[in-house]
Amino acid sequence: MIKRELLPIIKDKLFKQKAIIIIGARQVGKTTLLQDILSSQEGVMWFNGDDLATRDLFNQVSKEKLMTIFGSNKIIIIYEAQRIKDIGLKAKIITDQMKDIQLILTGSSSFELSNNINEPLTGRKWEYNLYPISFSEMVNDKDLFNEIKQIEQRMIFGYYPEVVCNPNSAMELLKQLANSYLYKDILQWERIKKPDMIVHLLQALAYQVGSQVSLNELSRLVGLDRQTVDNYISILEKAQIIFRLSSFSRNLRTELRNSKKIYFFDNGIRNSLINNFAPLDSRTDTGALWENFLISERIILNAYTQSYCNKYFWRTTQQQEIDYLEEKDGVLSAYEFKWSETKKAKPSRSFSNAYPNTIVKTITKDNFYEFLLAQR
């Protein structure tokens, strides 16, 4: 059992008269996490929102009906809660009127769960995101030396729990996971009118990891209008498949101001979409995989350690670029990522002149663990 970073955080929030919401893509380990947290607790009752009988049970509920359903149980867990109609209003009844009950909801579609819950549960919830297993979690579970040895495997196959635990079946598992991502959650959402197009869009994004994304170009590639592409990207973000970085600009007229880059939360899912599990020494996209791995792991680390910062990349019209920047409490930190030992980072003079108090750090295979464990 790999101990997840959220375990002590959620344990500390039990029975504080607020609902606990855990959001994450399918198969990231939400149920396993709760089983671990509640292994020593009594009076735990589980409901599955994917089950039609559960959805019928929670239809037109009142406090009295809920008390009958729950009986003497004091911890109520509803996973895939987004499938239950008006779940936010029903959660509000439990939280407001049944003070001795700890309600825990999990969902794999944050765009549905958040929209249904945020307003009814304002001030009544703790909300957390769970991601695939992280580098730091693996280091804590095993040790740093062994996880560093696995880094090329992780860059290709990613960190989904089932993939980590069954490396010999990694390719098959990732194909199943990618289909679950695409077809079970996103494509069930009523606004998706052309499901095959969102698959094409994900594949196009997979090929453009680490590059600036043009909505107009994506529109031409997948055959959708620009606004629909933008909407689909927003849905994919909310479903925690991808995330965007915005360009940083403050001082220079030549800085790109409205550009975006898109990354995947898991390298394995990205590689599955383009059917490429080749070893790193035979790939042309190793640099992009390294960049995707480092930025996604850093963002997950910041989320778990509650290190709140703004995240950017930097580029000028002359193609000068910094891979990744963080701004926290008015302080700017800049990073360049290099996988190849023969490629040396050359700090941009324009960046150094515009932001003289910012040191650009180069992250390589020799020091990357410091970047991903720096806030311990």
CB 156 within 8 A of CB 272: no
pLDDT at position 12, please?
Answer: 96
pLDDT per residue over 34-81, tens digit each?
Answer: 999 999 899 999 999 989 999 999 998 899 999 999 999 999 999 989
Rounded distance between C-alpha atoms, residue 227 and residue 295, angstroms:
27
CATH architecture of the domain 135-373 equals Orthogonal Bundle (1.10)
> How far is C-alpha 372 from the geometric centre of its chain's CA atoms?
16
pLDDT at position 108, please?
Answer: 80
CB 333 within 8 A of CB 286: no
Residue ranges in the chain modelled with pLDDT below 50? 376
Rounded distance between C-alpha atoms, residue 109 and residue 25, angstroms:
7
H/E element, 331:
strand 331-337
The domains of the chain are located at 6-129, 135-373
Rounded distance between C-alpha atoms, residue 373 and residue 141, angstroms:
14
CA distances from 261 to 213, 225, 306, 350 (A): 6, 19, 23, 21
pLDDT per residue over 128-141, tens digit each?
Answer: 999 999 999 999 98
Q: What percent of the chain has pLDDT over 70?
A: 93
pLDDT at position 195, please?
Answer: 72
Q: How many CB atoms lie within 10 A of CB 31?
A: 16
| Token pair in block for residue 231 | 């909407």
Looking at the domain that runs over 6-129, which CATH code has it been given?
3.40.50.300
60: left (phi over 0), alpha (psi -120 to 50) or beta: left
